[in-house]
Structure 1
Protein backbone atom coordinates (compact mmCIF):
# COMPACT_ATOMS: atom_id res chain seq x y z
CA UNK A 1 0.00 0.00 0.00
CA UNK A 2 1.10 3.55 -0.72
CA UNK A 3 0.20 6.49 1.48
CA UNK A 4 -0.44 10.19 1.03
CA UNK A 5 0.53 12.72 3.68
CA UNK A 6 -2.33 15.07 4.50
CA UNK A 7 -1.70 18.70 5.40
CA UNK A 8 -2.15 17.67 9.05
CA UNK A 9 0.94 15.45 8.75
CA UNK A 10 -0.98 12.18 9.09
CA UNK A 11 -0.75 9.42 6.49
CA UNK A 12 -3.78 8.08 4.63
CA UNK A 13 -3.78 4.93 2.46
CA UNK A 14 -4.15 6.01 -1.17
CA UNK A 15 -6.70 3.23 -1.78
CA UNK A 16 -9.73 2.78 0.45
CA UNK A 17 -12.97 0.87 0.26
CA UNK A 18 -16.34 2.47 -0.14
CA UNK A 19 -19.05 0.98 2.06
CA UNK A 20 -22.34 2.63 1.17
CA UNK A 21 -24.12 -0.64 0.35
CA UNK A 22 -22.38 -2.86 2.91
CA UNK A 23 -24.29 -4.37 5.81
CA UNK A 24 -27.63 -3.85 4.06
CA UNK A 25 -30.27 -6.22 2.72
CA UNK A 26 -29.63 -7.17 -0.92
CA UNK A 27 -26.60 -4.89 -0.96
CA UNK A 28 -28.98 -2.03 -1.69
CA UNK A 29 -28.13 1.54 -0.62
CA UNK A 30 -31.65 2.07 0.76
CA UNK A 31 -31.94 -1.47 2.14
CA UNK A 32 -32.53 -2.30 5.77
CA UNK A 33 -29.37 -2.59 7.86
CA UNK A 34 -28.79 -6.29 8.51
CA UNK A 35 -25.42 -6.05 10.25
CA UNK A 36 -23.71 -8.38 7.78
CA UNK A 37 -19.96 -7.76 7.89
CA UNK A 38 -19.05 -10.27 5.15
CA UNK A 39 -17.84 -7.79 2.54
CA UNK A 40 -15.93 -5.78 5.10
CA UNK A 41 -14.15 -8.82 6.52
CA UNK A 42 -13.34 -9.92 2.95
CA UNK A 43 -11.85 -6.50 2.29
CA UNK A 44 -9.79 -6.58 5.48
CA UNK A 45 -8.44 -10.03 4.57
CA UNK A 46 -7.55 -8.66 1.11
CA UNK A 47 -5.51 -5.91 2.75
CA UNK A 48 -7.81 -2.90 3.03
CA UNK A 49 -7.27 -0.74 6.09
CA UNK A 50 -9.00 2.43 4.86
CA UNK A 51 -12.80 2.47 4.99
CA UNK A 52 -15.11 5.29 3.98
CA UNK A 53 -18.63 5.59 5.38
CA UNK A 54 -21.06 8.32 6.43
CA UNK A 55 -23.95 9.04 8.76
CA UNK A 56 -26.22 9.00 5.70
CA UNK A 57 -25.15 5.44 4.88
CA UNK A 58 -26.54 4.31 8.26
CA UNK A 59 -23.86 1.62 8.60
CA UNK A 60 -21.10 3.16 10.71
CA UNK A 61 -21.86 0.54 13.37
CA UNK A 62 -21.39 -2.27 10.83
CA UNK A 63 -17.96 -0.91 9.96
CA UNK A 64 -17.19 -0.74 13.68
CA UNK A 65 -18.32 -4.34 14.12
CA UNK A 66 -16.07 -5.53 11.29
CA UNK A 67 -13.04 -3.83 12.79
CA UNK A 68 -13.74 -5.48 16.13
CA UNK A 69 -14.25 -8.88 14.47
CA UNK A 70 -11.07 -8.55 12.39
CA UNK A 71 -8.73 -9.08 15.32
CA UNK A 72 -6.67 -6.06 14.31
CA UNK A 73 -6.15 -3.03 16.51
CA UNK A 74 -8.18 0.14 15.94
CA UNK A 75 -4.96 2.00 15.12
CA UNK A 76 -4.39 -0.32 12.16
CA UNK A 77 -7.33 1.30 10.37
CA UNK A 78 -8.05 4.65 8.79
CA UNK A 79 -11.75 5.47 9.20
CA UNK A 80 -13.62 8.22 7.39
CA UNK A 81 -17.16 9.33 8.09
CA UNK A 82 -19.23 12.33 7.08
CA UNK A 83 -21.74 14.71 8.58
CA UNK A 84 -24.73 15.29 6.27
CA UNK A 85 -25.20 18.78 4.85
CA UNK A 86 -28.78 18.90 6.12
CA UNK A 87 -30.30 21.35 8.63
CA UNK A 88 -30.97 18.76 11.32
CA UNK A 89 -27.19 18.15 11.48
CA UNK A 90 -25.88 21.63 10.74
CA UNK A 91 -28.20 24.38 11.99
CA UNK A 92 -26.63 24.70 15.44
CA UNK A 93 -23.49 23.86 17.38
CA UNK A 94 -25.53 21.32 19.35
CA UNK A 95 -26.62 19.57 16.15
CA UNK A 96 -23.03 19.26 14.92
CA UNK A 97 -21.85 17.94 18.28
CA UNK A 98 -24.64 15.36 18.33
CA UNK A 99 -23.66 14.21 14.84
CA UNK A 100 -19.99 13.74 15.69
CA UNK A 101 -20.83 12.00 18.95
CA UNK A 102 -23.24 9.67 17.13
CA UNK A 103 -20.46 8.64 14.74
CA UNK A 104 -18.04 7.97 17.60
CA UNK A 105 -20.67 5.90 19.38
CA UNK A 106 -21.54 3.91 16.25
CA UNK A 107 -17.89 3.12 15.54
CA UNK A 108 -17.28 2.43 19.25
CA UNK A 109 -14.09 4.42 19.08
CA UNK A 110 -12.72 7.50 20.79
CA UNK A 111 -11.38 9.06 17.58
CA UNK A 112 -12.08 9.23 13.86
CA UNK A 113 -9.25 9.62 11.37
CA UNK A 114 -11.09 11.84 8.89
CA UNK A 115 -14.47 13.56 9.16
CA UNK A 116 -16.01 15.30 6.16
CA UNK A 117 -18.88 17.66 5.49
CA UNK A 118 -20.76 15.37 3.12
CA UNK A 119 -22.36 17.99 0.87
CA UNK A 120 -22.20 21.78 0.62
CA UNK A 121 -25.32 23.95 0.82
CA UNK A 122 -26.14 27.52 -0.16
CA UNK A 123 -25.40 29.19 3.19
CA UNK A 124 -21.61 29.44 3.12
CA UNK A 125 -21.46 31.21 6.47
CA UNK A 126 -23.32 28.33 8.08
CA UNK A 127 -20.80 25.93 6.54
CA UNK A 128 -18.06 27.93 8.24
CA UNK A 129 -19.96 27.71 11.54
CA UNK A 130 -20.15 23.93 11.23
CA UNK A 131 -16.46 23.87 10.38
CA UNK A 132 -15.55 25.77 13.53
CA UNK A 133 -17.22 23.08 15.65
CA UNK A 134 -15.28 20.38 13.79
CA UNK A 135 -12.08 22.36 14.41
CA UNK A 136 -12.73 22.09 18.15
CA UNK A 137 -12.79 18.30 17.81
CA UNK A 138 -9.46 18.45 16.00
CA UNK A 139 -8.07 20.50 18.89
CA UNK A 140 -9.21 17.76 21.26
CA UNK A 141 -7.65 15.02 19.12
CA UNK A 142 -11.04 13.37 18.61
CA UNK A 143 -11.01 14.07 14.87
CA UNK A 144 -7.52 13.60 13.45
CA UNK A 145 -8.34 15.44 10.24
CA UNK A 146 -11.36 17.20 8.76
CA UNK A 147 -12.36 17.86 5.18
CA UNK A 148 -15.18 18.30 2.73
CA UNK A 149 -16.99 16.34 0.04
CA UNK A 150 -18.54 17.49 -3.24
CA UNK A 151 -17.30 21.09 -2.82
CA UNK A 152 -16.69 23.12 -5.97
CA UNK A 153 -13.96 25.75 -6.28
CA UNK A 154 -16.07 28.65 -4.97
CA UNK A 155 -17.26 26.70 -1.93
CA UNK A 156 -13.80 25.36 -1.12
CA UNK A 157 -12.24 28.77 -1.63
CA UNK A 158 -14.66 30.39 0.80
CA UNK A 159 -13.91 27.80 3.44
CA UNK A 160 -10.16 28.13 2.92
CA UNK A 161 -10.46 31.88 3.48
CA UNK A 162 -12.34 31.49 6.75
CA UNK A 163 -11.00 28.26 8.24
CA UNK A 164 -8.46 28.17 11.04
CA UNK A 165 -7.67 24.55 10.16
CA UNK A 166 -7.38 23.97 6.42
CA UNK A 167 -9.49 21.14 4.96
CA UNK A 168 -7.31 18.07 4.51
CA UNK A 169 -9.42 16.40 1.81
CA UNK A 170 -12.02 17.23 -0.83
CA UNK A 171 -13.83 14.03 -1.80
CA UNK A 172 -15.43 14.42 -5.23
CA UNK A 173 -16.99 12.36 -7.99
CA UNK A 174 -14.30 11.42 -10.52
CA UNK A 175 -14.45 8.76 -13.21
CA UNK A 176 -14.25 8.47 -17.03
CA UNK A 177 -16.63 10.97 -18.57
CA UNK A 178 -16.59 13.11 -15.44
CA UNK A 179 -13.00 13.37 -14.28
CA UNK A 180 -13.63 16.77 -12.64
CA UNK A 181 -10.11 17.85 -13.64
CA UNK A 182 -10.60 21.49 -12.63
CA UNK A 183 -11.59 20.94 -8.99
CA UNK A 184 -8.93 18.25 -8.63
CA UNK A 185 -6.26 20.66 -9.89
CA UNK A 186 -7.55 23.48 -7.67
CA UNK A 187 -7.64 21.25 -4.58
CA UNK A 188 -4.07 20.06 -5.17
CA UNK A 189 -2.89 23.65 -5.67
CA UNK A 190 -4.39 24.54 -2.29
CA UNK A 191 -2.78 21.60 -0.48
CA UNK A 192 -6.15 19.83 -0.15
CA UNK A 193 -5.91 16.20 -1.23
CA UNK A 194 -8.64 15.11 -3.67
CA UNK A 195 -10.38 11.79 -3.16
CA UNK A 196 -12.38 10.11 -5.92
CA UNK A 197 -15.67 8.49 -5.00
CA UNK A 198 -17.26 6.17 -7.56
CA UNK A 199 -13.96 5.99 -9.49
CA UNK A 200 -15.10 3.01 -11.60
CA UNK A 201 -18.71 4.04 -12.13
CA UNK A 202 -20.42 5.03 -15.38
CA UNK A 203 -17.56 3.83 -17.57
CA UNK A 204 -19.11 3.22 -20.98
CA UNK A 205 -18.12 0.50 -23.45
CA UNK A 206 -16.12 2.84 -25.68
CA UNK A 207 -14.03 3.99 -22.71
CA UNK A 208 -13.58 0.41 -21.51
CA UNK A 209 -12.28 -0.57 -24.95
CA UNK A 210 -9.64 2.17 -24.94
CA UNK A 211 -8.69 1.45 -21.33
CA UNK A 212 -8.40 -2.27 -22.01
CA UNK A 213 -5.88 -1.62 -24.82
CA UNK A 214 -3.74 0.26 -22.32
CA UNK A 215 -4.32 -2.37 -19.64
CA UNK A 216 -3.11 -5.15 -21.94
CA UNK A 217 0.34 -3.54 -21.93
CA UNK A 218 0.58 -4.32 -18.22
CA UNK A 219 -1.57 -7.47 -17.94
CA UNK A 220 -4.08 -5.46 -15.95
CA UNK A 221 -7.79 -4.67 -16.29
CA UNK A 222 -9.46 -1.48 -17.48
CA UNK A 223 -10.54 -0.83 -13.88
CA UNK A 224 -7.01 -1.13 -12.57
CA UNK A 225 -5.82 1.35 -15.20
CA UNK A 226 -8.42 3.89 -14.04
CA UNK A 227 -7.32 3.55 -10.43
CA UNK A 228 -3.66 3.74 -11.41
CA UNK A 229 -4.28 6.92 -13.41
CA UNK A 230 -5.93 8.57 -10.42
CA UNK A 231 -3.26 7.72 -7.87
CA UNK A 232 -0.48 8.78 -10.25
CA UNK A 233 -1.97 12.28 -10.28
CA UNK A 234 -2.24 12.39 -6.50
CA UNK A 235 -5.89 11.39 -6.10
CA UNK A 236 -6.96 8.97 -3.37
CA UNK A 237 -9.38 6.38 -4.72
CA UNK A 238 -12.36 4.83 -2.95
CA UNK A 239 -13.55 1.93 -5.11
CA UNK A 240 -16.18 -0.45 -3.78
CA UNK A 241 -17.01 -4.06 -4.59
CA UNK A 242 -18.95 -6.84 -2.92
CA UNK A 243 -16.87 -9.37 -4.87
CA UNK A 244 -13.75 -10.62 -3.08
CA UNK A 245 -11.72 -11.03 -6.29
CA UNK A 246 -12.51 -7.52 -7.48
CA UNK A 247 -11.64 -6.19 -4.04
CA UNK A 248 -8.20 -7.77 -4.46
CA UNK A 249 -7.88 -6.44 -8.01
CA UNK A 250 -8.59 -2.90 -6.83
CA UNK A 251 -5.56 -3.13 -4.54
CA UNK A 252 -3.27 -4.63 -7.19
CA UNK A 253 -2.37 -1.33 -8.85
CA UNK A 254 1.16 -0.68 -7.58
CA UNK A 255 3.36 -2.76 -9.88
CA UNK A 256 3.27 -0.60 -12.99
CA UNK A 257 3.34 3.03 -14.17
CA UNK A 258 1.49 4.66 -17.04
CA UNK A 259 3.28 6.62 -19.76
CA UNK A 260 2.54 10.30 -20.30
CA UNK A 261 0.89 9.43 -23.60
CA UNK A 262 -1.38 6.90 -21.88
CA UNK A 263 -2.29 9.37 -19.14
CA UNK A 264 -3.20 11.99 -21.71
CA UNK A 265 -5.39 9.49 -23.53
CA UNK A 266 -7.14 8.53 -20.30
CA UNK A 267 -7.61 12.17 -19.28
CA UNK A 268 -9.46 12.82 -22.55
CA UNK A 269 -12.05 10.08 -21.98
Structure 2
Protein backbone atom coordinates (compact mmCIF):
# COMPACT_ATOMS: atom_id res chain seq x y z
CA UNK A 1 0.00 0.00 0.00
CA UNK A 2 1.31 3.44 -0.92
CA UNK A 3 1.31 5.90 1.97
CA UNK A 4 1.13 9.67 1.70
CA UNK A 5 2.80 11.78 4.35
CA UNK A 6 0.54 14.57 5.61
CA UNK A 7 1.87 18.00 6.54
CA UNK A 8 2.31 16.91 10.17
CA UNK A 9 4.32 13.82 9.12
CA UNK A 10 1.44 11.38 9.79
CA UNK A 11 1.13 8.78 7.05
CA UNK A 12 -2.21 7.89 5.47
CA UNK A 13 -2.92 4.97 3.10
CA UNK A 14 -3.62 6.39 -0.35
CA UNK A 15 -6.59 4.01 -0.75
CA UNK A 16 -9.26 3.66 1.90
CA UNK A 17 -12.86 2.58 1.94
CA UNK A 18 -15.90 4.76 2.22
CA UNK A 19 -18.44 3.49 4.73
CA UNK A 20 -21.57 5.63 4.44
CA UNK A 21 -23.93 2.74 3.64
CA UNK A 22 -22.13 -0.10 5.39
CA UNK A 23 -24.26 -2.17 7.74
CA UNK A 24 -27.51 -0.63 6.50
CA UNK A 25 -30.64 -2.29 5.19
CA UNK A 26 -30.86 -2.18 1.42
CA UNK A 27 -27.39 -0.61 1.30
CA UNK A 28 -29.25 2.68 1.54
CA UNK A 29 -27.82 5.84 3.07
CA UNK A 30 -30.92 6.30 5.24
CA UNK A 31 -31.42 2.59 5.84
CA UNK A 32 -31.72 1.18 9.35
CA UNK A 33 -28.69 -0.62 10.74
CA UNK A 34 -28.82 -4.37 10.12
CA UNK A 35 -26.81 -5.29 13.18
CA UNK A 36 -23.87 -6.84 11.31
CA UNK A 37 -20.49 -5.61 10.08
CA UNK A 38 -20.22 -7.65 6.88
CA UNK A 39 -18.75 -4.98 4.57
CA UNK A 40 -16.23 -3.84 7.18
CA UNK A 41 -15.21 -7.46 7.76
CA UNK A 42 -14.67 -7.96 4.01
CA UNK A 43 -12.65 -4.76 3.78
CA UNK A 44 -10.36 -5.81 6.62
CA UNK A 45 -9.91 -9.24 5.05
CA UNK A 46 -9.14 -7.64 1.69
CA UNK A 47 -6.41 -5.56 3.30
CA UNK A 48 -8.00 -2.18 3.87
CA UNK A 49 -6.59 -0.30 6.82
CA UNK A 50 -7.98 3.17 6.06
CA UNK A 51 -11.67 3.64 6.93
CA UNK A 52 -13.56 6.85 6.22
CA UNK A 53 -16.52 7.40 8.55
CA UNK A 54 -18.69 10.37 9.52
CA UNK A 55 -21.27 11.31 12.13
CA UNK A 56 -23.85 12.12 9.46
CA UNK A 57 -23.64 8.55 8.13
CA UNK A 58 -25.22 7.36 11.40
CA UNK A 59 -23.22 4.11 11.38
CA UNK A 60 -19.92 4.84 13.12
CA UNK A 61 -20.74 1.97 15.48
CA UNK A 62 -20.67 -0.45 12.52
CA UNK A 63 -17.13 0.64 11.69
CA UNK A 64 -16.07 0.58 15.33
CA UNK A 65 -17.46 -2.86 16.01
CA UNK A 66 -16.01 -4.34 12.83
CA UNK A 67 -12.53 -3.00 13.43
CA UNK A 68 -12.54 -3.81 17.13
CA UNK A 69 -13.44 -7.46 16.53
CA UNK A 70 -11.06 -7.88 13.60
CA UNK A 71 -8.02 -8.87 15.63
CA UNK A 72 -5.93 -6.19 13.88
CA UNK A 73 -4.20 -3.77 16.25
CA UNK A 74 -5.76 -0.31 16.53
CA UNK A 75 -2.50 1.38 15.59
CA UNK A 76 -2.55 -0.44 12.25
CA UNK A 77 -5.79 1.30 11.27
CA UNK A 78 -6.24 4.84 9.98
CA UNK A 79 -9.72 6.04 10.96
CA UNK A 80 -11.28 9.24 9.70
CA UNK A 81 -14.53 10.70 10.94
CA UNK A 82 -16.24 14.05 10.55
CA UNK A 83 -18.17 16.56 12.65
CA UNK A 84 -21.70 16.88 11.27
CA UNK A 85 -21.93 20.55 10.35
CA UNK A 86 -24.61 20.04 7.71
CA UNK A 87 -26.83 22.45 9.64
CA UNK A 88 -23.98 24.60 10.90
CA UNK A 89 -22.80 25.18 14.45
CA UNK A 90 -24.67 24.65 17.72
CA UNK A 91 -22.34 25.24 20.69
CA UNK A 92 -19.03 24.26 22.25
CA UNK A 93 -20.81 21.75 24.48
CA UNK A 94 -22.38 20.24 21.38
CA UNK A 95 -18.99 19.78 19.70
CA UNK A 96 -17.55 18.06 22.79
CA UNK A 97 -20.58 15.78 23.07
CA UNK A 98 -20.45 14.82 19.38
CA UNK A 99 -16.73 14.07 19.56
CA UNK A 100 -17.26 11.86 22.62
CA UNK A 101 -20.05 10.01 20.79
CA UNK A 102 -17.75 9.34 17.86
CA UNK A 103 -14.99 8.03 20.11
CA UNK A 104 -17.47 5.75 21.88
CA UNK A 105 -19.09 4.43 18.70
CA UNK A 106 -15.75 3.87 17.00
CA UNK A 107 -14.47 2.13 20.15
CA UNK A 108 -11.26 4.11 20.23
CA UNK A 109 -9.60 6.75 22.38
CA UNK A 110 -8.18 8.67 19.42
CA UNK A 111 -9.07 9.55 15.85
CA UNK A 112 -6.40 9.54 13.14
CA UNK A 113 -8.09 12.27 11.10
CA UNK A 114 -11.01 14.41 12.23
CA UNK A 115 -12.71 16.71 9.71
CA UNK A 116 -15.23 19.52 9.63
CA UNK A 117 -17.69 17.89 7.23
CA UNK A 118 -19.23 20.95 5.57
CA UNK A 119 -18.59 24.70 5.57
CA UNK A 120 -21.49 27.00 6.44
CA UNK A 121 -22.26 30.68 6.13
CA UNK A 122 -20.66 32.02 9.30
CA UNK A 123 -16.94 32.71 9.23
CA UNK A 124 -16.61 33.37 12.97
CA UNK A 125 -18.23 30.04 13.82
CA UNK A 126 -16.05 28.12 11.38
CA UNK A 127 -12.96 29.62 13.00
CA UNK A 128 -14.33 28.80 16.47
CA UNK A 129 -14.92 25.17 15.51
CA UNK A 130 -11.45 24.95 13.99
CA UNK A 131 -9.94 26.21 17.23
CA UNK A 132 -11.76 23.44 19.12
CA UNK A 133 -10.34 20.85 16.73
CA UNK A 134 -6.90 22.33 17.33
CA UNK A 135 -7.37 21.78 21.07
CA UNK A 136 -8.15 18.10 20.53
CA UNK A 137 -5.20 17.83 18.15
CA UNK A 138 -2.83 19.38 20.68
CA UNK A 139 -4.10 16.93 23.32
CA UNK A 140 -3.40 13.99 21.00
CA UNK A 141 -7.02 12.86 20.75
CA UNK A 142 -6.93 13.77 17.07
CA UNK A 143 -3.72 12.73 15.32
CA UNK A 144 -4.52 15.11 12.46
CA UNK A 145 -7.32 17.52 11.58
CA UNK A 146 -8.77 18.77 8.36
CA UNK A 147 -11.83 19.84 6.42
CA UNK A 148 -14.26 18.46 3.88
CA UNK A 149 -16.06 20.16 0.99
CA UNK A 150 -14.18 23.41 1.62
CA UNK A 151 -13.59 25.80 -1.27
CA UNK A 152 -10.63 28.17 -1.52
CA UNK A 153 -12.37 30.93 0.48
CA UNK A 154 -13.09 28.53 3.35
CA UNK A 155 -9.55 27.21 3.34
CA UNK A 156 -8.19 30.76 3.41
CA UNK A 157 -10.32 31.48 6.47
CA UNK A 158 -8.81 28.56 8.37
CA UNK A 159 -5.27 29.19 7.14
CA UNK A 160 -5.41 32.85 8.18
CA UNK A 161 -7.01 32.29 11.60
CA UNK A 162 -5.73 28.92 12.78
CA UNK A 163 -2.47 27.76 14.30
CA UNK A 164 -2.66 24.23 12.86
CA UNK A 165 -2.82 23.89 9.09
CA UNK A 166 -5.49 21.49 7.78
CA UNK A 167 -3.86 18.19 6.87
CA UNK A 168 -6.57 17.27 4.37
CA UNK A 169 -9.40 18.73 2.31
CA UNK A 170 -11.82 15.97 1.30
CA UNK A 171 -13.64 17.00 -1.86
CA UNK A 172 -15.64 15.78 -4.83
CA UNK A 173 -13.30 14.57 -7.59
CA UNK A 174 -14.28 12.08 -10.27
CA UNK A 175 -14.76 11.65 -13.99
CA UNK A 176 -16.50 14.76 -15.33
CA UNK A 177 -15.58 16.81 -12.28
CA UNK A 178 -11.89 16.33 -11.56
CA UNK A 179 -11.81 19.59 -9.56
CA UNK A 180 -8.25 20.27 -10.75
CA UNK A 181 -8.11 23.92 -9.65
CA UNK A 182 -9.03 23.13 -6.06
CA UNK A 183 -6.66 20.16 -5.96
CA UNK A 184 -3.87 22.45 -7.16
CA UNK A 185 -4.82 24.99 -4.49
CA UNK A 186 -4.74 22.31 -1.81
CA UNK A 187 -1.32 21.18 -3.01
CA UNK A 188 0.04 24.75 -3.09
CA UNK A 189 -0.83 25.02 0.60
CA UNK A 190 0.60 21.60 1.51
CA UNK A 191 -2.90 20.21 2.12
CA UNK A 192 -3.58 16.67 0.92
CA UNK A 193 -6.66 15.98 -1.19
CA UNK A 194 -9.02 13.09 -0.50
CA UNK A 195 -11.55 12.33 -3.24
CA UNK A 196 -14.94 11.17 -2.07
CA UNK A 197 -17.09 9.04 -4.42
CA UNK A 198 -14.12 8.70 -6.79
CA UNK A 199 -16.01 6.28 -9.05
CA UNK A 200 -19.07 8.47 -9.55
CA UNK A 201 -20.01 10.25 -12.74
CA UNK A 202 -18.74 7.66 -15.23
CA UNK A 203 -21.03 7.69 -18.26
CA UNK A 204 -20.90 5.11 -21.05
CA UNK A 205 -18.65 7.09 -23.40
CA UNK A 206 -16.11 7.71 -20.64
CA UNK A 207 -16.35 4.10 -19.49
CA UNK A 208 -15.44 2.92 -22.98
CA UNK A 209 -12.30 5.07 -23.06
CA UNK A 210 -11.30 3.96 -19.58
CA UNK A 211 -11.83 0.29 -20.37
CA UNK A 212 -9.77 0.60 -23.56
CA UNK A 213 -6.93 1.86 -21.39
CA UNK A 214 -7.54 -0.78 -18.75
CA UNK A 215 -7.52 -3.63 -21.26
CA UNK A 216 -3.85 -2.97 -21.99
CA UNK A 217 -3.02 -3.55 -18.33
CA UNK A 218 -5.56 -6.24 -17.52
CA UNK A 219 -7.49 -3.80 -15.34
CA UNK A 220 -11.09 -2.58 -15.09
CA UNK A 221 -12.23 0.94 -15.94
CA UNK A 222 -12.69 1.61 -12.21
CA UNK A 223 -9.12 0.55 -11.44
CA UNK A 224 -7.88 2.93 -14.15
CA UNK A 225 -9.76 5.85 -12.55
CA UNK A 226 -8.34 5.10 -9.12
CA UNK A 227 -4.84 4.70 -10.53
CA UNK A 228 -5.13 8.09 -12.27
CA UNK A 229 -6.01 9.75 -8.98
CA UNK A 230 -3.28 8.18 -6.87
CA UNK A 231 -0.64 8.93 -9.51
CA UNK A 232 -1.35 12.60 -8.82
CA UNK A 233 -1.23 12.01 -5.05
CA UNK A 234 -4.99 12.21 -4.55
CA UNK A 235 -6.18 9.87 -1.79
CA UNK A 236 -9.23 7.83 -2.78
CA UNK A 237 -11.96 6.23 -0.70
CA UNK A 238 -13.99 3.98 -3.03
CA UNK A 239 -16.80 1.97 -1.49
CA UNK A 240 -18.39 -1.33 -2.48
CA UNK A 241 -20.86 -3.80 -1.04
CA UNK A 242 -19.17 -6.52 -3.11
CA UNK A 243 -16.13 -8.27 -1.65
CA UNK A 244 -14.47 -8.85 -5.02
CA UNK A 245 -14.88 -5.26 -6.15
CA UNK A 246 -13.49 -4.08 -2.83
CA UNK A 247 -10.41 -6.18 -3.55
CA UNK A 248 -10.14 -4.78 -7.09
CA UNK A 249 -9.97 -1.24 -5.76
CA UNK A 250 -6.81 -2.16 -3.85
CA UNK A 251 -5.26 -3.98 -6.81
CA UNK A 252 -3.94 -0.86 -8.52
CA UNK A 253 -0.28 -0.81 -7.57
CA UNK A 254 1.14 -3.10 -10.26
CA UNK A 255 0.76 -0.86 -13.32
CA UNK A 256 1.49 2.71 -14.33
CA UNK A 257 -0.38 4.96 -16.75
CA UNK A 258 1.42 6.59 -19.64
CA UNK A 259 1.41 10.33 -20.28
CA UNK A 260 -1.05 9.71 -23.13
CA UNK A 261 -3.31 7.68 -20.81
CA UNK A 262 -3.35 10.49 -18.28
CA UNK A 263 -4.10 13.08 -20.95
CA UNK A 264 -7.08 11.09 -22.24
CA UNK A 265 -8.42 10.52 -18.72
CA UNK A 266 -8.03 14.19 -17.74
CA UNK A 267 -10.14 15.17 -20.75
CA UNK A 268 -13.09 12.99 -19.75
Report TM bin, short chain.
Answer: over 0.9
- Residue 70 (structure 1) aligns with: 70
2:31 maps to 1:27: no
**Which stretches of structure 1, 4 residues or longer, exceed 6 Å deviation after superposition?**
none
In 2, the alpha carbon distance for the partners of 1:267 and 1:155 equals 26
Please give the TM-score of this superposition, normalised by the length of structure 2. Answer: 0.98
Q: What SS class does the counterpart of residue 69 from structure 2 fall into?
A: helix
Q: Deviations over 1:17-52 (max 9, x none)?
A: 000000111111000112220111001000000000
2:125 maps to 1:157: no
Q: Deviations over 1:142-175 (max 9, x none)?
A: 0000000001111111111111100000000111
In 2, the alpha carbon distance for the partners of 1:55 and 1:228 equals 29
2:188 maps to 1:189: yes
Q: Is the 8 A contact 1:171 1:195 kept in 2?
A: yes
1:198 Cα deviation after fit: 0.3
- Residue 197 (structure 2) aligns with: 198
Please give the TM-score of this superposition, normalised by the length of structure 1. Answer: 0.98
- Residue 15 (structure 1) aligns with: 15
Task: Give the stretch that moved more between structures: 27-36 or 133-142.
Answer: 27-36
In 2, the alpha carbon distance for the partners of 1:130 and 1:227 equals 32
- Residue 174 (structure 1) aligns with: 173
Q: Deviations over 1:87-125 (max 9, x none)?
A: 5x7232211111111111111111000000001111122
Task: Give the stretch that moved more between structures: 91-100 or 56-65.
Answer: 91-100
1:72 Cα deviation after fit: 0.9
In 2, the alpha carbon distance for the partners of 1:125 and 1:203 equals 38
In 1, the alpha carbon distance for the partners of 2:175 and 2:121 equals 28
- Residue 50 (structure 1) aligns with: 50
In 1, the alpha carbon distance for the partners of 2:156 and 2:131 equals 16
1:86 Cα deviation after fit: 4.0
Q: Is the 8 A contact 2:86 2:117 kept in 1?
A: no
In 1, the alpha carbon distance for the partners of 2:35 and 2:59 equals 8
1:70 Cα deviation after fit: 0.7
In 2, the alpha carbon distance for the partners of 1:66 and 1:184 equals 32
Task: Give the stretch that moved more between structures: 26-35 or 11-20.
Answer: 26-35
- Residue 255 (structure 2) aligns with: 256
| Residue-pair matches, total | 268
In 1, the alpha carbon distance for the partners of 2:90 and 2:129 equals 8
